[in-house]
Structure 1
Amino acid sequence: MKVWDLATRIYHWLQALLFILLVLSGFKGTGPHEPLGILLFTLIVWRLLWGVVGSESSRFGSFIKGPKTVIQYLLGRYPKKPGHNPAGGWMAIAMIAALFIQCITGIIMAGLISPLENLLIKEHLNTIGRLHDAGARLLLVMVTMHVGAIIVYKLKAQPLVKAMFSGIQQQLSDTQNLYFVSMIRAVLVLIVSGAVTTSLLILG
């Protein structure tokens, strides 16, 4: 059955592409690292807004579950449902949060928010730099765990990568109807996200 809308799939693959480019440019110290970071920041703002006003399976309320539900899932006592499973949902939130913090620390280091930079002394900026460096390494670990989980699910005949390309999750009943919003709303949310980034940079 159809689970992922086009906006969510575009976000997922753009995030993956930008992350790879940012890792390469960041650790090598060459390439358009700052512009790529700004693009990723805009993308994440888009996903945060889409998690509130987007399609049902993309909304945070649909896949953020309590500890009891996560434990039930890990013990194999949770029914198969469309979208993120309880553990995967929290992994998605952790990934988005880590990327968002990484973007914020990077923007501060780049001096793109001048009023804030003027309030920070050298020691503060050094600390932010260390956080940015540590965040990059943490994200590499998280991505490795994510890829590992994908491989495990593939071995269980649950092709998550294919689903994120096609939007269709296998082994689910078509009677489970999900609510999908139009791509027009996705474009409008993206425009708002771009405006947020632009405002941040102008004010900076």
Structure 2
Amino acid sequence: MRRVPGRPFEPEEYVLETNTILFRVFSTGGMVPRTVTDFNPGKGDRTRFAFFGDPTVPVLYAAESEEAAVCESILHDVPSGPGAVLYESFADRVCAPLAPTRDLSLVSLMGDGLFKLGTQARYVTGTMASQYTRTVRWAEAVHEAGFDGLVWMSNRRNTDRAFVFFGDRVEAGDLVALPGTGRIFAAGAGFDWLADYLTSLKIEILIP
């Protein structure tokens, strides 16, 4: 089984259709708060599929449900089973919907897409963070092949797809925020929704 991309690189394409509703959890804190369609230009720790390139390729992660977006962000490093998260770890975060305004051409890292590439989820989308130096090579290969990003089944919620888009391929206007308010997790209805979801997973919120 391949742990890094092979040559020739012949992936399975997944077309994310125009107007497909996605969700993103993002931070509104810091010196320059982000909006739901702002790409990460390369700040912060390495992630599964970022960062790479010179200049650095910006990325934006999203998911097909609010729950998956939470699992891929707030709960990304929280072990499965009974546990806890710190309130401060999500106090400046918001979950909001967005959608593509054109069809996006992605590489599938799920199902037959993994089989075609001669690998398995455990070597690419299901690894520990210590393997990110290796897994980012899959994103590099996808980018080199001319695609807009990747899609895979969320490792933490494997009923839903997760996505990463490349900021030098998905241009301004290719993703738009959708009308309506997002969930602000710091307080109010957004906090209540998140608390209920975490309770269903037996995860406690620790408030100082």
What is the TM-score of this pair, normalised by structure 2?
Answer: 0.29
More strand by share: 2
Larger helix proportion, structure 1 or 2? 1
When normalised by structure 1's length, the TM-score is: 0.29
**Greater Rg by CA:** 1
